[in-house]
């Protein structure tokens, strides 16, 4: 009698395990985590995009400038600066900074009023939300 009970228990356990495995295999992949919206990760994405698309790519619109990232900010406002290439200690020509969670971005400086400023603003917005690539 006990061997019959044990056999039924074993069969039920195998069926339960099989159903669990089948269900696990059929479920879709979990959604990819959204890009973090805090200030620091947002500015890290912006800095990587700016460095790759504006400076390392050899973009003629940025030949006269240099990127100066200041991501380790004790003020809670990580930022990147665009400064003259041959005078990095000079006043920044553009500043992009973020604050809070979700990040609130600001971009300002004389370069933002130039024709390239519109493109810079569009690139920064795209990178800030996790977009990739250059315009």
Assess whether pLDDT exceeds 60 at residue 113: yes
Residues 63 and 115 in one domain: yes
Answer yes or no: is 13 within a domain: yes
Total-model pTM: 0.73
- Same domain, residue pair 71 and 121: yes
For residue 28, the model assigns a pLDDT of: 53
* Phi, psi of 108, deg, nearest 5: -150, 170
Residues 12 and 75 placed together within one structural domain of the fold: no
Host domain of residue 55: 39-128
Q: Is residue 21 part of a domain?
A: yes
Contact 55, 49 (CB under 8 A): no
Q: Mean pLDDT score of the chain, rounded to an integer?
A: 82
133: in domain: no
Q: Are residues 22 and 43 in the same domain?
A: no
Q: Are residues 72 and 89 in the same domain?
A: yes
Is there a single domain that holds both residue 4 and residue 47?
no
- The pLDDT of residue 81 is 97
Q: Given a cut of 90, is residue 76 above it in pLDDT?
A: no
Q: Is residue 58 part of a domain?
A: yes
Q: What is the rounded distance in angstroms from the CA atom of residue 52 to the CA atom of residue 134?
A: 8
Query: 121-130: per-residue pLDDT in tens?
Result: 999 999 999 9
Residue 121 falls inside a structural domain = yes
What does the alpha-carbon distance between residue 3 and residue 66 come to, in Å, rounded to a whole number?
79
**Domains: count for the chain:** 2
Query: What mean pLDDT do residues 66-83 have?
Result: 93
pLDDT digits (tens, 9 = 90+) for 3-58: 554 445 444 444 444 444 444 444 454 444 456 889 999 999 999 999 999 999 99
Nearest-5° Cα angle at 110, 49 to 88: 65
Instruction: Please give the pLDDT value at position 73.
Output: 76
Residues 6+ apart with CB under 8 A from 94: 81, 82, 107, 108, 109, 110, 111, 112, 117, 120
* Crossing angle of the two packed helices 39-50 and 115-128, in degrees rounded to 10: 130
Contacts of 36 (CB under 8 A, 6+ apart): 42
């Amino acid at each position: 009698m006990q061997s019959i009970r044990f056999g039924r228990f074993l069969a039920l356990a195998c069926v339960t395990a099989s159903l669990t495995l089948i269900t696990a295999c059929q479920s879709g992949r979990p959604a990819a985590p959204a890009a973090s919206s805090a200030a620091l990760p947002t500015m890290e994405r912006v800095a990587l995009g700016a460095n790759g698309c504006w400076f390392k790519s050899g973009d003629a619109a940025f030949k006269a400038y240099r990127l100066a990232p200041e991501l380790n900010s004790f003020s809670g406002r990580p930022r990147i600066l665009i400064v003259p290439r041959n005078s990095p200690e000079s006043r920044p020509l553009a500043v992009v900074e973020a604050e809070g969670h979700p990040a609130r971005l600001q971009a300002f400086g004389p370069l933002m009023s130039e024709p390239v400023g519109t493109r810079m603003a569009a690139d920064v917005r795209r990178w800030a939300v996790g977009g990739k690539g250059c315009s």
